[in-house]
Structure 1
Amino acid sequence: MPELPEVETVRRTLNELIRGKRIERVTVSLPRIIQRPHEPEIFAAALAGHTIESVERRGKFLRILLDGLVLVSHLRMEGRYGVYEADEPVELHTHVRFHFEDGTELRYKDVRQFGTMHLFAPGEDLVLPPLNKLGIEPLNKEFTLQAFKKEVAHRSTKIKPLLLNQEYIVGLGNIYVDEALFTAGIHPERTADSIKPAEWTKLHEAIRATLSRAVDAGGSSIKSYVNGQGEMGMFQHELLIYGRKNEPCRKCGASIDKTVVGGRGTHICLKCQPFPKKRGSNAAKPASK
């Protein structure tokens, strides 16, 4: 699933490609992609004649702002957008096409068919599902160390599932949580309330630095991710731990392990991310591999 850096890259690309374009009509080939309104015919009719003003992001969601409407889109596992000339062949698994008056099209392709689109009046999108319960943005100025700790530091939950929970901090997925925890030297099965003040500082800095570097590199193309121009991200070449099971750690040379934490495959260097030897009552025992 695309995480914050990938969605941010798509946002930036689409902003360059479709801002200012006027929608002539919309074709929906897979109705279940359209979540609000539920009738694809009403969705298509509502968008006709509107102009795209900008593309923004909230967590892993795209917010396409039009004159009088907001389209909220989630790419889920393998959704992708691309801009094409109207006479170009339509690829398999293309489910929604936005036909522009200038003869180009914005096409949404989704092999897994898990993506969603919601249409709102301006302002409604931020107070109704699916955006209304999202947490703080880790690359915004509001993501201070104090705000970060207020959200999660007091909880007895394991730190990795907490960081994956979009109600606390948005945009983080499996790749970047593994990377940030490794950079901060924190075992993913530590409970949040067992993490010390200096470690919170390291983790806060690691999250911001990891995401910033990933955005600069255009995201990570681990599976099928490409931006709106069909270009791959390059951050996968800079990953320190994710996807490197049994390879030597770039810091210490020890072999990287892979286990399951909170139902997610998790990469760990047990030398760089040791579980504390003195475990208090709030510390959970690491899961066996």
Structure 2
Amino acid sequence: MPELPDVEQARKLLHERCLGRKVTRVHAANDNIVFAGATDLESQLCGCKMVGSGRRGKQFWLEFSKRLVLFIHFGMTGQVHIKGESTSHYRKIEVDVGANWPPQYTKLELQFGQLHVAFTDPRRLGRIRLYEGDASESPIISKLGFDPVIDPPSPQAFAEMVMRRKMPIKALLLKQEFSAGVGNWIADEVLFRSSIHPAQLASTLTQVQTNELLRQLKDVCGTAVAANADSRLFPKEWLFHYRWAKGRKQPTQMPDGRAIEFVTVGGRTSAIVPAVQQLSSADQPPLQTKKKT
């Protein structure tokens, strides 16, 4: 699933290429799942000028004249394409743009004069919604938690937020109303770098641990955003580069030989390095371990 850095990359791309341009044509697919009840989107957007953009967590939006806001959520497989340009996309999503336009699985096409933009979504789990008013006042945004890049909490506030929750720390990090934009690989990376097991109950963490967790959360997200979501530029010591070997015949390990194992926490698969990530108390929820064979 595209996470915070991938979404910011898409927002930045559209902001740089479309800001100040007028929408000359809109084509929306007949898909009431992706468009989540939006009606008459084509007639409302056509003729409007893009005047801004924003992002919070995995949700981003384009602002248009007439106080119109187009909210876009990628879901599992959403992507943005610009005709005639090579754009960076999430590593596991494959949409063949080729010479044909619009691309396969296009749900929304916006034309800004000679500039063509398409939103594709093969699995139809993304959402596109049109809103009139201030984006920050929309329930789409107001229900989200802090953004690790935009407005991270203070160490003390973060510690209080974490310690009052009796649930596995990874499950808490994945809750978008807690930390908006954090997905599976970011949560695993942050916990690995903080030497915290994903199943550790949030309420059992110490102030020292929450301080480090917040520091790593800001650093991992900030570094990935600075790299424009290009994983080739991520630090070589990151777990990110080695976690994808799950299911292959060769052992899954870090470059220094430390083993990588996979456990299930809250129904989600987590990559851990047991050498540095151990449960610190016996009072923990049941854990399923998936070792390499």
Question: Aligned-pair distance for 1:79?
Answer: 0.9
Aligned to 2:115: 104
**2:159/2:211 contact within 8 Å kept:** no
Cα-to-partner distance string for 1:143-163 (whole Å, 9 max, x where unaligned) = 221232232221110000000
2:199 maps to amino acid = E
1:68-217 equivalence runs, <5 A:
68-84=67-83, 89-100=101-112, 102-123=113-134, 125-217=135-227
CA-based RMSD of the aligned residues comes to 2.2
Hey, what does 1:263 align to over in structure 2?
Answer: 267
Task: Supply the AA of the counterpart residue of 2:68.
Answer: L
Deviations 1:32-85 (A, max 9, x none): 221243x3xx11111111101122111101110111211110011111112226
* TM score, norm. by length of structure 1: 0.85
State the Cα distance separating 1:196 from its structure 2 match.
1.1
Q: Is the 8 A contact 1:73 1:115 kept in 2?
A: yes
Q: Can you list the C-alpha shifts for 1:2-39, whole angstroms capped at 9, x where unaligned? A: 111111111111111111110122111232221243x3
Maintained 8 Å contact 1:17/1:83: no
Moved over 6 A (4+): none
Relative to structure 1, the CA distance from residue 36 to residue 170 in structure 2 (aligned partners, 3 Å threshold; closer, same or farther) is same
Matched residue, 1:287:
288
User: Is the counterpart of residue 2 in structure 1 residue 2 in structure 2?
Assistant: yes
Q: Which residue of 2 aligns with 1:58?
A: 56
Q: Percent identity?
A: 29
Name the CA distance, whole Å, in 2 between partners of 1:168 and 1:187: 19
- Alpha-carbon separation, structure 1, partners of 2:289 and 2:81: 43
Aligned to 1:17: 17
Q: Distance in 2 between matches of 1:158 and 1:149?
A: 15
Q: For 1:9, what is the secondary structure of its paired residue?
A: helix
Secondary structure at 2:209 match in 1: helix
What are the ranges of 5 or more consecutive residues in structure 2 without an aligned counterpart?
Answer: 85-98
Take 1:199 and 1:54, find their aligned partners in 2: how far apart are those partners? 38
1:225 maps to none
Q: 1:236 & 1:47 partners in 2: Cα distance?
A: 41
Contact 1:34 1:43 in 2 (8 A): no
1 CA distance for matches of 2:176 and 2:57? 8
Match of 1:95, SS state, is strand
Equivalent residues in 2 for 1:8-47 (5 A)? 8-32=8-32, 33-37=34-38, 39=39, 42-47=40-45
Q: Look up the match of 1:49.
A: 47
Gaps of 5+ in 1: 222-232
139-148 vs 24-33, greater mean Cα deviation = 139-148
Q: Check 1:200–1:287 CA distance in 2 against 1; reply closer, same or farther (3 A cut).
A: same
Tell me the SS of whatever aligns to 1:81: strand
Are 1:244 and 1:267, in contact at CA under 8 Å, matched by a contact in 2? Answer: no
